[in-house]
Structure 1
Amino acid sequence: MIGYVTLGTNDLERAARFYDALARHWGVGRMMEFDQFIAWGDMESPQAAIAATRPFDGNAASVGNGTMVALMVDSPEKVHAVYDTALAHGGTDEGAPGPRGDDGFYAGYFRDPDGNKLNVFCMTESA
């Protein structure tokens, strides 16, 4: 149902380096690029894409309180890999990878260099 998620940035070049590194974990790259906007994903895939943009109204980008983008992978090992990549490329920790609850939800939480909150998760067998 979701086609793409857009996150604001005040430094598109920095955001590009961050999301270029993360996108590699899904085997995708930049699918759209303009002076103000870059999107990562695959135009032929039904999976949602992610984009970074300078706000079109010209005001500073700000973080939405309570807003988070969840990125799905297929194993706890990939949760750790994406989380580690995020921190290595200027992201900050918001919760180390691990199981959350007893329903098989396994996730790591981080913020991008602009402060946008993301998580990377997978579903494992329930405890």
Structure 2
Amino acid sequence: MIGYVTLGVSDMERAKAFYTELLSDFGATVQFDGGRIAMIGKSMAEPMLSVCIPYNEEPPTPGNGSMVALPASSKAQVDELYHKAIKLGATCDGEPGQRIPDMFYGAYFRDPDGNKLAFFVFG
């Protein structure tokens, strides 16, 4: 149902490098690069993550209460991807752990521009 989610960034090259490396385990690559906007995913026919320099040319700002949550295949993959994000320059916003007993396991981080993301798995 979701086509793509867009995050405002201040440095396109840094953002493309961060997200293509972080999401490489999912087979994600830059599917479209329009200069001030790039779409990263497995194909243009599947949900993607878009990064862009804001159209109004104002500095990007993370949305208060906004977050992009990316599904993982296991708790181990949540842990692995969280640590990969941190190694790539993200900051911790909630270490990996069980959030709802027997229901939800997740890890939270902020990208180099302060956008909040999570990797999660149900169960």
TM-score under structure 1 normalisation? 0.91
Deviations along 1:29-85, one digit per CA (max 9) or x if unpaired, are: 111112101111122654x21011000111111111100000001101110111011
2:85 equivalent to 1:86: yes
RMSD of aligned alpha carbons: 1.2
Deviates more, 1:13-22 or 1:89-98: 13-22
Report the count of equivalent residues. 123
Aligned position for 2:20: 20
Residue pair 2:79, 2:96 contacting (<8 A) in 1 also: yes
List, as ranges, runs of 4+ consecutive aligned residues in structure 1 with deviation greater than 2 Å.
42-46
The reply on whether 1:55 has 2:54 as its aligned counterpart is yes
**Given residue 75 of structure 1, which amino acid in structure 2 is its aligned partner?**
S
| Contact 1:9–1:53, Cα closer than 8 Å, also in 2 | yes
Q: Map of 1:1-127 to 2, 5 A cutoff?
A: 1-43=1-43, 45-46=45-46, 48-124=47-123
Structure 2 letter corresponding to 1:57: N
TM superposition shift of 1:100: 0.5
Amino acid at match of 1:12: M
Output the TM-score relative to the length of structure 2.
0.94
Question: What is the rounded CA distance, in whole Å, between the counterparts of 1:78 and 1:40 in structure 2?
Answer: 20
SS at match of 1:85: helix
Gaps of 5+ in 2: none
Q: Which amino acid counterpart does residue 13 of structure 1 have in structure 2? A: E
Identity, % of aligned positions: 40
**Cα distance in 2 for residues equivalent to 1:13 and 1:68:** 22
Amino acid paired to 1:58? E
What residue identity is the alignment partner of 1:80? D
Aligned partner letter, 1:10? S
Q: Tell me the SS of whatever aligns to 1:67.
A: coil
Of 71-80 and 36-45, the range deviating more from structure 2: 36-45
